[in-house]
Structure formats: C-alpha cells, structure tokens
C-alpha cells in the first residue's frame, strides 16, 4: 500500500468507524457485529501506527466513542472512564506483559495480574458520600457523561446505602442477564414491539430512558469492577479493593482470577472462554489488569486507554456444516421465520443444530439452498448465524427454498406487505398467535376486560380452558376460581368484566380483532362509517380506502382480514356469545372542540383517561399524548407530572376536571 493509498484508507475507516460508533454508543442500535467493528478499528490503528503523520485527534483511536444524549444533565467525571486497548492474540498479550514487566522490575515491584470477564453492557460510575448513593453517570466520552441517577436507583442490585460510611466512586457495568433478555424480548413480541438485537443494546437503551419508570420495568443488573476514587480508604492492590467492595455491599464481578504470571493469565483467559456458555451474563472478552496500584500509577495512561490493563477479545469460531432443511416457525405476532436445520456441530462451546435465517431477504442475499455446505459462527455470546455458503461443494443435489404463502400452523394467508421484511400469518384463530391475540383482545384500549392479565391468560391456555378468543365468553366461575387461592372474589370480578365487555361499542371490538395497521383511532373511524360489523365485513376495498385515516395498505389489510374463513368463524362465535356488533355512538352535530387538541395528565375523579378522551373526540376534538405549542388545553388531574410542567413552560392553558365538565355541558 502506498502512502497515498494509506491516507485514503485511513480517512475511509474514520468515517466508517465514526458512523458505527454512533449507532452503537449513542443510538444503541448497531448495524454490524462487535467483531466486525473491532476488525475495522484494528485496521485503522495499525495503519495509524504505520503512518503516524496521518493521526488526527478526531480519530476514534484517540478518543472514547460516545456522546451525551440530549435530555440528560452533563456530568464531568472526577476520574476519567477510559476504554481499553483490544487485542486478539496471545502474542500481543505477551508483548503487553514484557512492557509492563520492564517498568515493574525498574521499580522493584512484584508484577501480578487479575483476570476478569469483560461484561457486555453499559459502563457507569457510582458516587457515594458518607455511604449514601448520590450520583450515577454513563461513561459518555470518557470525561463527560450523562447524569442517570434516577434511572440507576431503579436497579435493585445497586445499594442505596453502603455498609460503611465511606466516600467512594466506583465503576461498574450495567447489563441484562441471558435469561432476563430472553424474557424481555418475549414480552416485547407479545406487545408487538420490535425486538432488541442483543442484551447490550437492551441494557444501554433501558438506562438512557428519560422516564425512570420505564427503566424500572427492565431486568437490569450490575457488576462493579473498579474503585475510581476513594477518599476514605487507600488500597495497595486491585484484588484487595474488589474484596472490600463486596464487604461494602456491592455486587462485584464474580469472575476475578488472581494470577502470578502471564502464563497463569493466559490459562485463566482460556478457562473463561471454555466456560462462557455457563455464565448467566454475556461477555465480549476478558480483561487483564495489573494488580499493584502503585505500579498502575507509574504506568499511567495515554489519550484513551490505561497502560495497566488490556482487553483480550475472543475470536469468533467458524465451522462448516450441512444445511439439512429450512422449516418455518410462527411467532406470537404472526411473523413467519425460516429456521435452518443443521447437521449438529460444536461451535464456541455449544452444539448448534438450528439457527434463525431471519427472513426471505436473508436467504436470497446469501443464496442459501437446502443441502448446502455452510459456514456458521458464534461471535461472542450472540445467536449462531449462517455466514456464507461454500458454493464449490455444491453437487447438484441442492434445492431452492420458497417462503410459504399459507401459514404452516393454521393455513391462513401469509402476507408480506410492501416495505416489510417479515411474512405474517393473518389468521386470527392461529394457535401460534393465540396468546398475543387474546392479550390484545382483552387490553384496555380494546375490550378492556379488567383482571385478564398476562399470567391469567397463560394459565387458561395451559389448562386448555380456552382454545380461541370466543371461549372467553364460555368461562365459568368454577373454572376461574381454581387459578388462585381463595379465588372466588377474583373469579366473580373477572366473570363480570367479561360479561360487561359484551356491551362495548363496535369500535372497541374492531380494535380488539388486531387487524394490521388498525388501532383505536382507525377503529373509531371504521365504526363511524359502517355502523355494524356486517357492513364492515362486506365492505369493498374501494369503500374501505375512502374511510378517514385509512390508506391503501391499511384498506388492503382490512379487506384481506375479513376475507379469511377464520375471521368469519370468530365473528359468528362472538355474535352467538352476545357480543355487541353495532356502533353505540350516535352521530352528533356538536363539534364544539373542532380544531382543538387536548392532552390529559394525572388521575381524574369522574372519568378514566380513555373515557375523557372519547368525550373530547365525540365533540370533534383530538387527544394527544405529548404537550407542544399546538396543544389547546391540558386537562390536569391529581398528581399531574412533567406534562403539566411543560404546559406551564409553554404557556398552554391548563384546565381542571371541574372546568372540563363546564366545557362539555
């Protein structure tokens, strides 16, 4: 490579790494694997070392990736939260040992190491004064981070008060366990929300919520791994400080191996690599730290990384195997996912016999055929993936795979909408979707069946008490009360709530059916236009597209939904159960709130928020979830929060429930 070519490549790499660092650190939404990013950074670092005249202060080799997110207060770290230099082989680790040992010998200090797992999460600092937790912050750019104290207070494993009254700043990694991550994604799938790509993104995104109540819903945990600053006690060694932090009540990294030599450190790294599958949390490497704190002071740091620690990254292990078959699984939202059935092969400590192929595009991009020899890898703790096909091993026996046009579970149409990668089953009685369908049907904005929550639905299904949505209306008191100890009162309340739901307006029933792209607002427009369920079921595409808030894609989704035999079957069962099929909201000429936008906040005495919102919409107004300059009124009840504050800041008119009642008389 010529000098000019090197300069050009360095510039390209800086742009590429800056883009991906932003996606990783700031957006919590990476587009490439950690290993791919590491390789880009390694190439950039090697080129800059070879051509130091091209080193620039804006290069990510010279600074910590990450910025302060808007909406958080800035925190200047009393001790910088540096990143670590990554290495990928033991030759580089031995070179690190030689450099470190030379300084240790010159200062007559015994060189020992501590090897720890490099936890895959979000790095934070925690400050305690007199033993009380006073502030927590993200790493940010290393010198300035985000104040996330309130969010960190929701993490149960962070002590609010230490066992001794000390002044101390510690550093740790907030993460979500493997089990917690699986459960979190399962819940998001049921809610129809996008799934997290990995546990690190989930943890980082959770901690950077502007609303701490949202953070509290996430299964966050923390391991502390370093004392940043201590005004109360002085330590001689890192290992000693870890044991003391445990004594204070901190949740300290459980993998901390004391090593007398670099050979022992390499052995420890290999042991961690072999056992990583057994860990309850994800890791993306091992960290090797100098134990003696005096030696650390002498070694010091450079612009970005300490000279007394280094990170060993485990290379992704790749293996060849046979793609024996491709089968399709149907998720709880109806998404049909192709799965690779593989000849079992051991990769990175675990036997892999199947893995996801994501969607139709993934298969086409890699030109996968059943019978192919493929290369799979498991980089870090991510799901194993098919990397590429070994095309030279094709012998003509391979065959192409086509995504199904019918759901493999229930036989309903499988549809791929424009702009989407997933193919979805649209059958409302599909057993694969049943949990999600019932959960949505009973939700507050749909049929509002109070008491019919996540665990109760699961119990009904496990016991075979319901096999479709309409079975809710055949449940008996005796069936329900066995779900809970002394469950008679609970059972009666749930039976009453189910009975009451029969009398809901047609718009709630339309929303409850879970038609793609039709929410509460669209359901109201459909009910207003067609008046009865029969009219809606028999509507043509042309009639549907002329409804307010209904575009081409939504109209097509509605039309296809009501063409399904499963839909017709369910509607008939609901009719037989006595569920209302007509709109109850008579049209009114009273549009007194036309052109006005209301925001509701706090608890109202006379109405639920949904009821108040319905009144506003029936009088021609709109309801918004956020306050802006376009807001006409903020209706504030008890314990109104940040929306009330914002309304006052913007000079928006705030009304009480009493004033609202006067407005609707």
- Which residues belong to the active site? 118
Place of tokens 């996912």: 337
User: In sequence order, what are the residues at sequence separation of 6 or more whose Cβ sits closer than 8 angstroms to the Cβ of residue 112?
Assistant: 237, 258, 259, 260, 290, 291, 292
User: In sequence order, what are the residues at sequence separation of 6 or more whose Cβ sits closer than 8 angstroms to the Cβ of residue 205?
Assistant: 28, 196
What are the DSSP E strand ranges found in 120-204? 122-129, 132-138, 144-146, 168-176
Question: Which tokens hold the place of 239?
Answer: 């290992």
Place of tokens 């309850």: 280
Cα angle: 319, vertex 322, 326; to 5 degrees: 120
> What is the rounded (10 degree) CA torsion for 289, 293, 295, 296?
60
**Strand, helix or coil at 628?**
coil
Measure the CA–CA gap between 379 and 325, rounded to whole angstroms.
23
Quick one: residue 411, left, alpha or beta (phi over 0 = left, psi -120 to 50 = alpha)?
Answer: left
- Do 615 and 595 form a contact (C-beta atoms < 8 A)? no
> What is the Cα Rg of the chain in Å?
30
Q: What kind and span of H or E run contains 259?
A: strand 256-259
Q: For 71, what's the count of Cα atoms within 13 Å in the CB-facing half-sphere?
A: 9
Measure the CA–CA gap between 184 and 549, rounded to whole angstroms.
32
Q: Which phi and psi (to 5°) does residue 461 adopt?
A: -70, -45
Among 132, 127, 195, residue whose Cα is nearest residue 164? 132
What does each C-alpha distance from 458 to 190, 203, 427 come to in angstroms?
Answer: 12, 27, 20
Quick one: residue 349, left, alpha or beta (phi over 0 = left, psi -120 to 50 = alpha)?
Answer: left
Cα angle: 29, vertex 30, 33; to 5 degrees: 150
Q: Which phi and psi (to 5°) does residue 34 adopt?
A: -60, -40
């Amino acid at each position: 490579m010529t000098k000019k070519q090197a300069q050009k490549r360095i510039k390209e790499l800086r742009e590429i790494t800056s883009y991906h660092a932003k996606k990783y650190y700031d957006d919590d939404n990476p587009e490439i694997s950690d290993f791919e990013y590491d390789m880009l950074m390694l190439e950039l670092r090697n080129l800059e070392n070879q051509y130091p005249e091209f080193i620039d202060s804006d290069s990510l080799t010279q600074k910590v990736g990450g910025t302060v997110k808007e909406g958080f207060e800035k925190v200047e770290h009393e001790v910088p939260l540096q990143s670590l230099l990554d290495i990928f082989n033991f030759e580089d680790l031995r070179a690190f040992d030689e450099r470190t040992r030379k300084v240790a010998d010159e200062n007559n200090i015994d060189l020992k190491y501590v090897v720890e797992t490099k936890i895959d999460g979000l790095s934070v600092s925690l400050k305690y004064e007199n033993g009380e937790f006073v502030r927590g912050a993200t790493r940010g750019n290393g010198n300035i981070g985000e104040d996330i104290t309130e969010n960190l207070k929701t993490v149960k494993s962070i002590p609010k008060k230490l066992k001794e009254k000390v002044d101390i700043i510690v550093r740790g990694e907030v993460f979500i366990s493997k089990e917690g991550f699986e459960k979190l994604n399962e819940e998001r799938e049921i809610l129809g929300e996008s799934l997290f790509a990995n546990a690190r993104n989930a943890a980082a995104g959770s901690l950077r919520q502007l609303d701490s109540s949202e953070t509290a819903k996430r299964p966050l945990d923390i391991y502390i791994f370093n004392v940043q600053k201590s005004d109360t006690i002085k330590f001689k060694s890192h290992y000693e400080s870890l044991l003391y932090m445990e004594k204070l009540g901190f949740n300290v990294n459980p993998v901390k191996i004391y090593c007398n030599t670099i050979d022992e450190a390499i052995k420890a790294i290999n042991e961690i690599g072999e056992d990583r599958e057994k860990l309850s949390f994800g890791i993306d490497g091992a960290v090797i730290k100098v134990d003696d704190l005096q030696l650390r002071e002498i070694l010091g740091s450079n612009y970005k990384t300490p000279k007394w620690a280094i990170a060993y990254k485990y290379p992704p292990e790749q293996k060849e195997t046979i793609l024996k078959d491709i089968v399709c699984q149907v998720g709880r939202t109806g998404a049909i996912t192709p799965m690779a059935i593989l000849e079992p092969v051991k990769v990175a400590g675990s036997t892999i016999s199947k893995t996801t192929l994501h969607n139709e595009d993934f298969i086409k991009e890699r030109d996968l055929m059943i019978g192919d020899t493929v290369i799979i890898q498991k980089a870090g703790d991510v799901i194993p993936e098919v990397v590429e096909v070994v095309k030279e091993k094709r012998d003509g026996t391979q065959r192409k795979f086509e995504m199904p046009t019918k759901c493999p579970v229930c036989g309903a149409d499988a549809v791929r909408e424009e702009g989407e990668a997933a193919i979805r089953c649209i059958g409302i009685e599909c057993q694969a979707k049943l949990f999600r369908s019932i959960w949505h049907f009973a939700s507050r904005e749909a049929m509002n069946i109070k008491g019919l929550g996540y665990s109760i639905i699961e119990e009904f299904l496990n016991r075979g008490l319901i096999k479709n949505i309409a079975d809710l209306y055949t449940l008996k008191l005796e069936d329900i009360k066995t779900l809970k100890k002394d469950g008679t009162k609970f059972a009666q309340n749930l039976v009453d709530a189910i009975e009451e739901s029969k009398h809901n307006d047609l718009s709630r029933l339309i929303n409850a059916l879970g038609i793609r792209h039709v929410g509460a607002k669209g359901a109201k427009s459909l009910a207003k236009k067609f008046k009865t369920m029969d009219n809606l079921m028999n509507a043509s595409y042309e009639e549907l597209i002329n409804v307010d808030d209904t575009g081409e894609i939504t109209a097509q989704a509605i039309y296809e939904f009501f063409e399904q035999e499963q839909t017709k079957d369910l509607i008939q069962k609901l009719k037989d159960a006595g569920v209302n099929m007509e709109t109850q909201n008579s049209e009114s000429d009273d549009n007194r709130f036309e052109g006005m936008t209301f925001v509701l906040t706090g608890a109202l005495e006379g109405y639920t928020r949904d009821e108040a919102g319905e009144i506003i919409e029936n009088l021609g107004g709109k309801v918004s979830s956020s306050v802006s300059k376009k807001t006409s009124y903020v209706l504030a009840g008890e314990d109104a929060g940040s929306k009330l504050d914002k309304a006052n800041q913007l000079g928006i008119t705030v009304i009480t429930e009493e004033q609202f009642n006067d407005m609707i008389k």
